[in-house]
Amino acid sequence: MVFFDNLRIFLKAGRSGDDPKEKALYNLIQKEPENPNAHLKLAKIYQKKGEKQKATSEYLLAADIFVRNQFYAQALAIYKQLTRRDPHLDQVYLKMAEIYREKGFLAESLVQYRTLVYFYEERGEKEKALNIMKIIDN
C-alpha cells in the first residue's frame, strides 16, 4: 500500500500543473508581470518539460521586457539563444536587427537583415524579402 501511495505522489509531482516551482513562478508573474527573470525561469521549466512553444513564448516575453527596460545585452543574448534553437523565428532576427541599428552597430544590423532576406527568399516570400531590402537601403 505504501508503495502505491509513493508511486501516486511521484506521478502526480510530474504533472504539469503540480510543479511547485512552476506554481510559484505563476504567482510571481501574476504579481510582477514585468519581471523578466521570472519569465526566463518559467521558460527554462517549459524547455526541460519539452514544451517548446511555451518556452519560446516565455523567452520572447522576457526579452521584450528587457528591451523595454533598456537592457539590450540581456535581450540580445536571449534572442541569439532562440535563433540557435529555432533558426526559423524570423521575428527574432528582425528584433535583433532593430536593436543593433538603434544602438549604432550597423554591421551587426546588416547581418541580421541579410539573414532575414535569405530566409524569406528560401520560403518564397519575395515581397517580405523586398521589404527588408528597402530597410537596408535606407
Residue 66: CATH number of its domain: 1.25.40
For the chain, how far is it from start to end, CA to CA, in angstroms?
73
Same domain, 66 and 93: no
**63 and 101 housed in the same domain:** no
**Do 97 and 126 belong to one domain?**
yes
**In this structure, which amino acid lies at residue 19?**
D
pLDDT attached to residue 17: 53
- Position 137 scores a pLDDT of 84
pLDDT tens string for the chain (138 positions)?
A: 444 444 444 444 444 456 888 899 889 999 999 999 999 999 999 999 999 999 999 999 999 999 999 999 999 999 999 999 999 999 999 999 999 999 999 999 999 999 999 999 999 999 999 999 998 887
Q: Could you tell me if 46 and 105 lie in one domain?
A: no
Q: Which domain holds residue 39?
A: 1-70
Indicate the Cα dihedral angle 73, 75, 79, 85, nearest 10°.
Answer: 100
Tell me how many helices (H) and strands (E) the chain has: 8, 0
Do 64 and 1 lie in a common domain? yes
Residue 80 belongs to a domain = no
Domain count of the chain?
2
**Residue 112 gets which letter from DSSP?**
H
For residues 34 and 29, give the distance between their C-alpha atoms in angstroms, rounded to a whole number. 8
